[in-house]
Structure 1
Amino acid sequence: MNINGDYHVHTAFCPHGSNDKIEAYIEQAITKGLTELSFTEHAPLPKSFSDPTPDKDSAMKWADLDQYIQTIEKVKKDYQSQLKINLGFELDYIEGYESAITSFLNDYGSVIDDSILSVHMLKTNMDDYVCVDFSVEEFARIIQLFGSVEAVYDRYYQTLEKAIVADLGPYKPNRIGHLTLIHKYQRKYAVDQGYQFTIERLLDIMKKNKLELDVNTAGLYKEECLELYPPQAIVDLASQKGIPLKPGSDSHTAKTIARGFNKLSLLTNN
């Protein structure tokens, strides 16, 4: 695994991020000795989809989209002699909204250098949606809604499989984000069963679909998680299966660029 790049980075265009300037992220990456940086801002949610988070702050606003693209295109040129900068998005896979996601990708795919497909939103049995990583209090409500923490985990991994195999057109992201995000609150809400077999099966499907794995260090710094997304044993297994690995800090502030990269094993993928 090449840890000379941070391939999962958010910006001030993210409503739940910081107001740090784009240049601050870039200067931090250069200071850290990185050679590549992917800005993967949360793509706007489908216009017909209602953000289920209490703060309605899951993704970039549609009104900011063009400015985001222009901003990243400018710094790509400004810093081209110092750092390879990729214009990208983190796309939410939302069950039932595949057509809208595909339309977005078709409209903007020509400018995308790098992208991630992630699951944050789960469809409930009542045909509405919840966001699994908003807060520990919201996660507690979601557990009540689904009936058990295991039921929430099950729905998450079922949705993740749908994301992996979904036909989202020629610009579908080739990397799956924070595979075990559902474990964010595991130290407070533990499950009674392991998900090793489920995750291994998903890795096999990812390999079949030629997808990369986001090795996401953010979970190391979440007080109710304290491990990588996914944990090191799964990263090792993915490497053994020949799945390309891409490290990402999931930074929402400039100071956390490449955070935790010193803890990653020096794995290589050909």
Structure 2
Amino acid sequence: MKRDAHIHSPYCPHGTKDSFELYIEKAIQNGFTDISFTEHAPAPHGFIDSVPTQDSFLNRNSLEPYIFELQKLKKMYAKDITIKIGLEFDFIEGYEKEITQLLNDIGPTLDDSILSVHFLLNEKSYTCIDFSSHVFLDFAEQLGSIENVYSLYYKTVQNSISAELGAFKPKRIGHPSLIHKFRYAHDTLVDDHEMIVKTLQLMKEYNYELDVNSAGLAKQYCLEPYPPQAYITLAKEMGIPLVFGSDAHRAEDLHQYYKQVYNNS
């Protein structure tokens, strides 16, 4: 099975309007047998998007059309490719009950899902850690150091793994080293080896899949997959299921770096 299980869509508020068909046809042409559209889920009730553009989450009014359109396409392309309907849910500290309710409401309609961390909590405010290098550096200043940001990020990811979020909690952890996105935007070399290993150990303990995410290779301040290749290899040795995801937000980026990342795992 050749699979890409982290794909966004024309419904992404911060993506492109490339049609589902563009993604699907490209996947078929490249010999993929299984794809998952995993659009950003709606925000948990009461959470206010902290990015300036207010476009981190799928609008709740778009959820039904998103699922309905994919249901039709699943049937249309059934002979050529398996299409799974999914969402990428945000784990946000302090909103566990609201996330559980969201999962309970939406989960029964999905074939696949991912649990990711994009927002970090500092006292009572939230920062989208991958929005921009400027936001990242400002947040590091708030926390006192780059190291403190890394530590908070991995702690939050680890909390997402152990959190009780109900029967429809995703079983795949998205881009667990996303904090590396701006590693070349600052001059601090952070030794996060133990933090990554602990995260993988928790994933193994809780029987989670790893999103082997190639998108970081396309980011100018990252230039490596999430997680780095050595930890993809380690995860495989630990027996953690590896699931490739291009995290494409446009058809052009679908399956980006698949051979480099997944074939070397």
Distance in 1, matches of 2:64 and 2:190, equals 45
Partner deviation per Cα, 1:53-82 (whole Å, 9 max, x = no partner): 111110110111111110111111110100
Distance in 2, matches of 1:193 and 1:22, equals 39
Match of 2:26 in 1: 28
CA contact (8 A) 1:239 1:267 kept: no
- Residue 6 of structure 1 aligns to a residue whose secondary structure is strand
Indicate how the Cα distance of structure 1 residues 190 and 83 shifts in structure 2: closer, same or farther if over 3 A, else same.
farther
Q: Map 1:123-134; keep pairs closer than 5 Å.
A: 123-125=121-123, 127-134=124-131
Aligned residues between the structures: 265
- Residue 85 of structure 1 aligns to a residue whose secondary structure is strand
Distance in 2, matches of 1:57 and 1:116, equals 19
Match of 2:111 in 1: 113
Tell me the amino acid that sits aligned with residue 258 of structure 1: H
Gap runs ≥5 in structure 1? none
Match of 2:77 in 1: 79
> Given the alignment of the two structures, is residue 142 of structure 1 paired with residue 144 of structure 2, yes or no?
no
User: Which has the higher relative contact order, 1 or 2, with Cα contacts under 8 A spaced 6 or more apart?
Assistant: 1
Partner deviation per Cα, 1:136-170 (whole Å, 9 max, x = no partner): 11112111221111111111011011101011111
Match of 1:9 in 2: 7
RMSD: 1.2
CA contact (8 A) 1:44 1:60 kept: yes
Indicate how the Cα distance of structure 1 residues 38 and 219 shifts in structure 2: closer, same or farther if over 3 A, else same.
same
Indicate how the Cα distance of structure 1 residues 25 and 262 shifts in structure 2: closer, same or farther if over 3 A, else same.
same
CA contact (8 A) 2:161 2:202 kept: yes
Match of 1:242 in 2: 239
> Given the alignment of the two structures, is residue 195 of structure 1 paired with residue 188 of structure 2, yes or no?
no
Q: TM-score, normalised by structure 2?
A: 0.97
Tell me the amino acid that sits aligned with residue 213 of structure 1: L
Distance in 1, matches of 2:262 and 2:107, equals 32
What is the percentage of aligned positions where both structures have the same residue? Answer: 45
Please, which moves more after superposition, 92-101 or 144-153?
A: 144-153
Q: TM-score, normalised by structure 1?
A: 0.96
CA contact (8 A) 2:244 2:262 kept: no
Tell me the amino acid that sits aligned with residue 241 of structure 1: M
- Residue 80 of structure 1 aligns to a residue whose secondary structure is coil
- Residue 143 of structure 1 aligns to a residue whose secondary structure is helix
Tell me the amino acid that sits aligned with residue 46 of structure 2: S
